[in-house]
Structure 1
Amino acid sequence: MTPPIVSIVAKSGTGKTTLLEKLISEMKRRGFRVGAIKHDAHSFSIDHEGKDSWRLTQAGADTMLITSPAKIAMVRQNGDSEPVLDETVATYCRDVDIVLTEGFKRSSMPKIEVHRRERSATLLCRGERHDPTLFAVASDEPLKLDVPVFDINDAAGLCDLIDKRFLS
């Protein structure tokens, strides 16, 4: 069985990573096993030119793993298409209680949107378009919406909502 997925979405520079760090820390403090997936719309590389892992990937390895007693990392070539988020979670995150993602704003996964007044007057999920998967907003200003609005620093309150909605 795959774990529930909650996507943290926002416009660039709004604070998605900062909120995600707080949510992960709070969920771990509560004893949950947490997976995290970061969406990158561009090409990225975790390999560094000249390193053995980079050399193996450059040689044509379709999947290249680095293992140690502490962790494992994988570089897998996708070809021309990004894998579906559900499939990625089912393949790599079966051993966690919940997966928190950063990005995936166009997915059908439940979403929490991060809002900062100085970044934008409008929301992605309530404004430019109406996304029915939005279930909460973390904001630095009070907003009147059809979903709960939390202070942008209230990780505990957001985790209470996530726990009640997806884990209890």
Structure 2
Amino acid sequence: MKVLGICGHSGSGKTTLIEKLLPLLRQRGLRVHVIKHSHHDVVLEPPQKDSSRFRAAGAGDVMLVTPYRYAIMHELRDTPEPSLSECLHRLSPADLVLVEGFKREPIPRLEVYRPANGKPALYPQDSGILAVASDATAPEAAPQWLMLNDTASIVNWIFDTIYANH
């Protein structure tokens, strides 16, 4: 599977960009998965529901299955947080995996950068960032610069640079 990290400061628009990219990548015939890493605890079901009660009672894994999707909740009681590699191995086959988070992993990345966010760009200190999607014009010593509102061009870059070549 090809892997592309989507990085940037909080509030830069990473999730919104991924939402816009997914249908366009699917139109190109790619099967795409997303891994979202969070530092926060996430509640997938209210505490009084069955799967939460099973986990609270000590189950290591609980699989919730519906006619529309399934989810496996795995409690990390006695094990460390899985690495990106371990997460990738748990996914079904795909052509491309977009990763939001895991910014220390050695994967190619696209930075989402908005100067109006008031935070510095990441690319000057991160050689893993191959391109920047921004709503500003490119500075002189920038990597490949893509306009954030031109999602079709970003998809072309992903297809040509990440999917076809890595």
Aligned twin of 2:135: 140
Per-residue CA deviation, residues 7-38 of structure 1 (Å, 9 max, x unaligned), is 11111111111001011121112121110111
TM-score between the two structures when normalised by the length of structure 2: 0.90
Query: What's the TM-score, normalizing by structure 1?
Result: 0.89
Give the Cα–Cα distance (whole angstroms) in 1 for the partners of residues 150 and 102 of structure 2: 22
Is 2:111–2:133's contact at 8 Å kept on the other side of the alignment? yes
Gaps of 5+ in 1: none
Shift of residue 154, structure 1, vs aligned partner: 1.8
Could you give the per-residue CA deviations for residues 64-98 of structure 1, whole angstroms, max 9, x where no partner exists? Answer: 111123211110112352111011111224x1110
Partner of 2:2: 4
- Which letter maps to 2:25? M
Q: Distance in 1 between matches of 2:5 and 2:101?
A: 6
Contact preservation (8 Å) 1:32, 1:97? yes
Which residue does the alignment assign to 1:86?
A: 85
Q: Matches of 2:95 and 2:67 in 1, distance apart?
A: 23
Name the amino acid aligned to 2:21.
Answer: L
Task: Pick one of 141, 144, 161 that aligns with 1:165.
Answer: 161
Contact persistence 1:10–1:105 (CA under 8 A)? no
- Alignment RMSD (CA, Å): 1.5
Shift of 1:156: 1.4
DSSP-derived class of the 1:104 partner: coil
Judge conservation of contact 2:9–2:119 (CA < 8 Å) in 1: no
Render the CA deviation track for 1:29-56: whole Å, top value 9, x for unaligned: 2121110111101222212111111111
Q: CA deviation at 1:121?
A: 4.9
User: In 1, Cα distance between the equivalents of 2:162 and 2:69?
Assistant: 28
| Structure 1 residues 57 and 117: alpha-carbon distance in aligned structure 2, compared to 1, 3 A threshold | same
CA offset digits 1:91-145 (Å, max 9, x no partner) = 224x11100011222221111111112103521232xxx2111111010101224
Percent identity, please.
34
Runs of 4+ in 1 over 6 A off after TM superposition: none
| Partner residue of 2:15 out of 14, 17, 38 | 17
| Unpaired segments ≥5 residues, structure 2 | none
Q: How many residues align?
A: 162
